[in-house]
Structure 1
Amino acid sequence: MATGTHFHQELATLRVKVLEMATLALRNLETAIKALHERDYELAQYVIDHDCDINRLECEIDDLSLRLLALEQPMAVDLRTIVGIQRVNVNLERVGDEAVNIAEKAMFLASRPVLPFSEQLEELAEVARTMFVHSLTCFKDNNVEAAYEVCRMDLKCNALEVDLLKGLMDYMSKESPAVERAVHTILISRALERVGDLSTNIAEAVVFIVDGDNIKHRFFD
C-alpha cells in the first residue's frame, strides 16, 4: 500500500480539486435552473460561459489521478479512492454539460409564452438538484448510508420525468403551435433526469471508495 507522506498530500490535493469542481458544477446547475424558472437570458449565458471552468478542473483531476496511479501504485483503500475519484470526476463534468443543456433551452424559452407545466418542471428540478447536493455531501463525508438514500431518490426523479413527458406529449397532440416549446421542455426534463442519474453514479462511487462494493445497476426501493 502506498503510505508515503507525499502520496497522501497529493491524494488530499486531489480531493480538494474534486470538491472545487463539485462546487462549480453545483453553481452552474443551480444557475441554469434559476435561469429557467426566472426566464433570465443572462443567467443562462453565464452557465454556458463558465462551463470551461469545470472542464479545466476535469483535466487537472484526470492528470493527477493518473499520475498517482502510475507512480505510486497504490493498493486497498488508496487505490479505491483514486479510482472512485475518477468516476466522480467524469460524472461532475457531465452534470456541468447538463447544466449547459438546460441553460441553452432556457434561453430559447425565455422569450416564448409559458407552457402549463411550470410546477411539474420545478418539482423535477428540485429533486434533481437535491440529489446532486446530497451526492456531493456523501463524497465529502464518505457517508455510505446517505449514498444509498441518493440511489433510492432516483426512483422519484425518474417517475417525475416520465409523468412530465406524458403530459407534454399529450399537450403537443392538442396544441400544435406549442410543439417547439414542448420539445425544448422535454429536453430540459431529460437533462434534469440525467442529473439524477449522474448523482446516483457519484453516490455509487462513494460506496465503492468506502466499502469496496460495486453497486452499479442495482435496483433500490
Structure 2
Amino acid sequence: MEQRAHFTKKMDDLKVQVLRMSSMAETALNNSIKALTECNAELAEDIIMNDIKINELECELDEYNLGLLALDQPMARDLRFIVGSMRIASNLERIGDQAVNLSHRAVFLSTRPPLPFNQKLEQMCTVAQNMVAKAVKAFADEDHALAAEVCSMDNDADSLNVRILKGLIENMVSETRIVERGVHLIMAAAHLERVADQATNIAESVIFITQGVNIKHQCKG
C-alpha cells in the first residue's frame, strides 16, 4: 500500500511538471504573438533568450519518465499517462521553438515600417492560442471531449494559413516594396500553423491517455 502511495505521488509530481512546462510554453507563445503584433524587439529577444528553460525542463521530464518506466514498471493507464506525458512535453518544447521563430520575425519587422493590419493573421494567432490553451486544459482535466474539440479546430488553422498565404502573395505582386516584410508574415503564419499542429498532437495524447486509443494522424482527416 505504501509503495502504491509513493508511486501515485510520483505520478502527481509528473503531472505538475508537465503543467509547469505547459505554462512556460503558453507564456512564450502569447508573448511572441504580442511581440509580433506590436513589433516589440525587446520582448522578442527575451523570449529567444529564455527558450533554454523550456528545453531544460523537457530534458528533466524525459529523465524522470525514463526512471518511472525503468524502476516502477507501470501498467495500463499509468503507462499510458507516462508515455503520453513524454509526447506532450516534446510538443510543448516545439511550441516553445515556434515562439522563438515568431520572435525572430518580430525582431526583423521592428526594423521596418509597419504593414497594414492583417485581420486573417490576427485570427490565426487567436486560433493557435485557443488550441494550445484548450489542449493544456484537456490534459489538466483529463477531458477527452475537449481534446477532440481541439482536433476539430486544426482544419480552421490550416484554412487560415492558406488564406493568409494567398492574400499576402496578391499584395506582394501588386506592391513589390512590401515583399520582404510579406515573406516574414507568411513565415509567421506557417509558425502559427505548426503551433496548431502541436496543440493537436497534445490533444491526441490526451485521448490516448484517457481512452487508450491511438488516433495519431487521424485528426487531419
TM-score by length of structure 2 reads 0.95
| 2:171 counterpart residue number | 171
- Secondary structure at 1:113's aligned position in 2? coil
| 2:71 counterpart residue number | 71
Shift of 1:115: 2.5
Aligned residues, how many? 219
TM alignment of 1:202-213, pairs within 5 A: 202-213=202-213
Shift of 1:117: 5.0
2:197 maps to a residue whose letter is: D
Shift of 1:113: 2.0
Shift of 1:175: 2.2
- The CA distance in 2 between the partners of 1:115 and 1:93, in whole Å, is 30
- Secondary structure at 1:188's aligned position in 2? helix
**In the superposition, relative to structure 1, how do residues 23 and 219 fare at CA in structure 2: closer, same or farther (>3 Å)?**
closer
- The CA distance in 2 between the partners of 1:96 and 1:155, in whole Å, is 22
TM alignment of 1:139-218, pairs within 5 A: 139-218=139-218
**1:84 correspondence with 2:84:** yes
- The CA distance in 2 between the partners of 1:148 and 1:88, in whole Å, is 15
CA RMSD of aligned residues (A): 1.3
1:38 maps to a residue whose letter is: E
TM-score by length of structure 1 reads 0.95
Runs of 4+ in structure 1 off by over 4 angstroms are none
Q: Which runs of 5+ in 1 are unaligned?
A: none
Instruction: Please list the CA deviations of residues 93-138 of structure 1 after superposition, one character each: whole Å capped at 9, or x if unmatched.
Output: 0000000000110110112122235222111001100100000000
Shift of 1:172: 2.0
Shift of 1:219: 4.1
Shift of 1:73: 1.0
- Secondary structure at 2:198's aligned position in 1? helix
- For the 8 Å contact 2:150–2:199, the answer to whether it is kept is yes
- Secondary structure at 2:115's aligned position in 1? coil
- The CA distance in 2 between the partners of 1:14 and 1:7, in whole Å, is 11
Instruction: Please list the CA deviations of residues 181-219 of structure 1 after superposition, one character each: whole Å capped at 9, or x if unmatched.
Output: 111111100000110000000000000000001111114
TM alignment of 1:109-120, pairs within 5 A: 109-116=109-116, 118-120=118-120
- The CA distance in 2 between the partners of 1:200 and 1:60, in whole Å, is 23
**1:41 correspondence with 2:41:** yes
- Secondary structure at 2:113's aligned position in 1? coil
TM alignment of 1:92-111, pairs within 5 A: 92-111=92-111
- The CA distance in 2 between the partners of 1:117 and 1:38, in whole Å, is 11
| 1:121 counterpart residue number | 121
